A and B are shown apart, each in its own frame.
Chain A
Amino acid sequence: MSKPLLSIMGVVVLGVVVEATSPAIAQVSRPDVDMNAPAPRLPNGRPDFSGVWARPYVPDITRSSANANGTSNATLTMTFRRPDTGHIEFGWVLDDPKTYTRPISNQRVFVLTPDVEIMEYSCMEGNLDNLLTGVITPWRPPVEED
């Protein structure tokens, strides 16, 4: 199964982030939005990150993220900055001295997709066929001997 070229992330206020993946965003036509206009702010003056954001799919980053599962000593710091209406600068730093000799980090830019609505996504929907055919087998705990 091919991976989506882009993924979509929706951000709502109150710190809640919801996410879905879909290749449909490739067909997006952007309405008349000034992507370089100043970033909006909430009534309390804090930055408003609301919107639907497209994230480029970068295989190397995905792989490094997957490898970054690390230990329970890991500290992950994520930063979001909206320099203008159309973009979010996202970065993360993983500090896990038990796994890595120094912190590792990555930065990327999310692009606003103002005319896109997030769709639902059920990870298990595609997996079940593989489970049924044995391509994926449920984990079984080791048999305990008396």
Chain B
Amino acid sequence: MRRVLAGLTADCGFGVGLGLFLLVIPASSQVNPVPVYPAGPYPPAPRLSDGTPNLGPVEPNRGYWSLSQHRDYAEVLVDPEAIPYQPWARSIAELRRTGESRYDPQGYCFPPSGPRLMTTPFPMEIIQLPEQERIVMIYEGGTHIWRIIYMDGRPHPEGDALNPTWLGHSVGRWDGDTLVVDIVGFNEKTWIDMAGDPHTDRLHVTERFTRTDLYTLRYEATIDDPGAYTRPWTIAFDVMWDPEGEIQEYICQENNIWLRDLRDDFGEPVFN
């Protein structure tokens, strides 16, 4: 039932008919069950044999990061005090906030992008492959998607070689014990958050992943999009580790009844 609830609220069912459902779930609620943790302080963050922070399981094939839903990034904003919209972006953001997310691309089972991957309330796992100089992140939700972060020092492609995609092009590096991921090359088909904040293809996201202890991953993302915002802005929140969890399969398109009942601004069915 857990995954059903998560799917309804995050991937394919937060539309008109579920407005009431959303009212009873706090915007930043932990949809996935919270495991029982021992009394603090928690054990230190684990490390790989080469000393690199281990962002994954301590025991093989056990555990995942239990992502929480953060519907509106204004709620997890750390800098500045308000999202610095350009006028057109503010208008779109305000309009989308009145539409109960009926036009959210993620509701149609399109992939989320950038920070939205980390605020779709399903499990995720980080697989470090130092010999291959890359890190793979797999997400149970958000269309059951994965991303590759190149750690070999390569630059982003430039010009036409930077093909705009849903997830963009990610390169990473270690800044002390923090994994820093730099992403560019987004298409303009996604919303940054579920509330409807827009972005352009000039979006540049810098993510910082820091495992502060065994159970806690501090996530920070700076959104720099001079096409939509007057200055960069940063969100941050903690993600908790579930030591007993295993990622399951999830098919967004399966039983996406939200589409069946979806109606446009004039009350007409969106689909024939």
Q: Give chain B's interface secondary structure class.
A: loop
What residues on B are CB-neighbors of A50 within 8 Å? 129, 132
B237 in the interface (beta carbon within 8 A): no
Q: How large is the interface on A (under 10, 10 to 19, 20 to 34, 35 or more residues)?
A: 20 to 34
Our count of residue pairs bridging A and B at CB distance below 8 angstroms stands at: 58
Selecting from B96-104, B107-115, B202-210, B228-236, the interface stretch reads B107-115
A128 contacts B132, CB within 8 Å? no
Q: Give chain A's interface secondary structure class.
A: loop
Q: Give chain A nearest CB distance to B113 CB in angstroms.
A: 10
B272 contacts A133, CB within 8 Å? yes
Selecting from A9-17, A67-75, A86-94, A96-104, the interface stretch reads A9-17
What residues on B are CB-neighbors of A118 within 8 Å? 148
In the bound complex, how far is the Cα of B272 from the Cα of A15, in angstroms? 42
B132 contacts A119, CB within 8 Å? no
Q: Give chain B nearest CB distance to A112 CB in angstroms.
A: 14
What residues on B are CB-neighbors of A13 within 8 Å? 129
A140 in the interface (beta carbon within 8 A): yes
- Contacts beyond the supplied A18-B138, A120-B111, A124-B110: 17 A-B pairs with Cβ under 8 Å: A12-B127, A12-B129, A12-B132, A14-B60, A16-B127, A118-B148, A122-B111, A122-B143, A124-B109, A124-B252, A128-B110, A132-B271, A132-B272, A134-B272, A137-B272, A138-B257, A138-B260
Q: Which residues of B pack against A, CB within 8 Å?
A: 60-61, 108-111, 127, 129, 132, 136, 138, 143, 145-148, 163, 165-167, 252-253, 256-257, 259-260, 270-272
